[in-house]
Structure 1
Amino acid sequence: MSLITTHVLDSSTGSPARGIAVSLTDATGEQLGAGVTDADGRVSQLGPEALDPGTYRLRFITGEYFASRNQETFFPEVLIAFEVSDAAHYHVPLLLSPFAYSTYRGS
């Protein structure tokens, strides 16, 4: 199982956001993994099973998601930087709407 997972919920519709491309990069910008959210808005295999401590980034391509719904958005992409400090599982959800987003460390 991937050390990093994510889940995207479209808070404007109250449903999972299917079809969003997501990539995981390290602090140098090297891509470590990529995936697309499934019907439940999840990417469960997003990179390696282990990561060194450090800063990593998840990039969500949200503009294409909203364009496919003929909906204007202020955020064509969302970039979330976070710290990995140990070998624990890191779940990084994204709550998304056309003009706002929030995130947190999930379980």
Structure 2
Amino acid sequence: MEKRTLLTDADREAALQDLPGWSYDAHARAIRRQFAFADFSEAFGFMTRVALAAEKMDHHPDWSNGWNKVDIALSTHSAGGVTALDIVLARAIDAASRLALTGAGN
């Protein structure tokens, strides 16, 4: 399957089963998750790691940051919703969050 092809509802839900904390936002046609860290510095470090991974993939999240929290929404806008590319990026984001939360890579 082409990574930028819209996932079926069943495929999207199956993928979300392997992504704890992520949920589907039907209004935004995106998957979402909020991450919380000890402080702003840890949140910003996490965002930097995600930004580097996203740039390599040429696929960028919609996100916001408030002190120690980072809210992320993933959607392939050109496809009109969630694609395999969003799932791959969500996995990379989860890996970056584990690094931030364990202090590795800081």
**TM-score interval, normalised by the smaller of the two chains:** 0.3 to 0.5
TM-score (norm 2): 0.34
Higher strand share: 1
Larger helix share, 1 or 2: 2
Higher relative contact order (Cα pairs below 8 Å, separated by 6+ residues): 2
Normalised TM-score (structure 1): 0.33
